[in-house]
Amino acid sequence: MVDVILGLQWGDEGKGKIVDYFAKNYDVIARFQGGPNAGHTLYKDGQKIVLHQIPSGIFYEGKVNLIGNGVVLDPITLKKECERVAAFGVHLQDRLYISEKANIIIPTHRSLDRASEAAKGKEKIGSTLKGIGPAYMDKTGRNALRVGDILSSNFQNAYNALKAKHQALLKTFNYTDDITQDEIAFFEAVGFLKTLPIVSGEYFINQKIKEGKKILAEGAQGSMLDIDFGTFPFVTSSNTITAGVCSGLGIAPQHIQEIIGITKAYCTRVGSGPFPTELENEDGQKLRDIGKEYGATTGRPRRCGWIDLVALNYACMINGITKIVMTKADVLDNFDTLQICTAYQLEDNIIKQMPFRLDDVNYQPVLETFEGWNSETPSIKKYDALPDKMKTYINFINRYLGVNIHYISNGPEREQLIEI
Instruction: Give 14 or 75: the residue with its C-beta nearer to ligand IMO.
Output: 14
Find out whether 291 and 283 touch, Cβ atoms under 8 Å: no
The binding track of 367-396 with respect to ligand GDP, each residue x by CB under 6 A or -, is ------------------------------
Q: Which helix (H) or strand (E) segment is 268 a member of?
A: strand 267-269
Maximum separation of any 2 CA atoms in the chain, in Å: 65
Q: Distance (Å, rounded) from C-alpha 166 to C-alpha 290?
A: 43
Residue from 33, 37, 41, 127 binding ligand GDP (CB under 6 A):
41
Told to judge if 74 belongs to the known catalytic residues of this protein, a careful annotator would answer: no
What is the number of other CB atoms lying within 10 angstroms of the CB of residue 395? 12
Told to judge if 255 belongs to the known catalytic residues of this protein, a careful annotator would answer: no
* Catalytic residue (one of 3, 20, 27, 40): 40
Q: How many residues bind ligand GDP (CB under 6 A)?
A: 21
Find out whether 31 and 66 touch, Cβ atoms under 8 Å: yes
Interaction of residue 296 with ligand GDP, rule CB under 6 A: yes
- φ, ψ dihedrals at 319, nearest 5°: -90, -20
For residue 277, the partner it binds in ligand IMO, Mg ion, ligand GDP, none, with Cβ less than 5 to 8 A by kind, is none
Task: Report the first-to-last Cα separation within the chain, whole angstroms.
Answer: 24
Among the candidate windows 34-42, 72-80, 124-132, 226-234, which touches ligand GDP by CB under 6 A? Answer: 34-42
Which amino acid belongs to residue 208? K
Find out whether 88 and 59 touch, Cβ atoms under 8 Å: yes
Rounded to a whole number of angstroms, the CA Rg of the chain reads: 21
For residue 126, the partner it binds in ligand GDP, Mg ion, ligand IMO, none, with Cβ less than 5 to 8 A by kind, is ligand IMO
Instruction: Give 14 or 250: the residue with its C-beta nearer to Mg ion.
Output: 14
Instruction: Give 137 or 367: the residue with its C-beta nearer to ligand IMO.
Output: 137
Q: Distance (Å, rounded) from C-alpha 378 to C-alpha 41?
A: 18
Please report how close the Cβ of residue 265 comes to ligand IMO at its closest, in angstroms: 16
The binding track of 239-278 with respect to ligand GDP, each residue x by CB under 6 A or -, is ----------------------------------------
Q: Which helix (H) or strand (E) segment is 217 a member of?
A: strand 215-218
DSSP 8-state assignment for residue 197: P
Residues 6+ apart with CB under 8 A from 184: none
Among the candidate windows 195-203, 235-243, 278-286, 408-416, which touches ligand GDP by CB under 6 A? Answer: 408-416
Interaction of residue 12 with Mg ion, rule CB under 5 A: yes
Among the candidate windows 277-285, 304-312, 325-333, 367-375, which touches ligand GDP by CB under 6 A? Answer: 325-333
Interaction of residue 7 with ligand GDP, rule CB under 6 A: yes
Among the candidate windows 103-111, 167-175, 182-190, 294-302, which touches Mg ion by CB under 5 A? Answer: 294-302
Helical residues (DSSP H) of 100-242, grouped into ranges: 107-120, 132-140, 155-172, 180-193, 201-210
Q: Any idea which residues carry the catalytic annotation? A: 12, 40
Residues near ligand GDP, by CB under 6 A: 7, 11-17, 39-41, 292, 296, 327-328, 330-331, 409-412
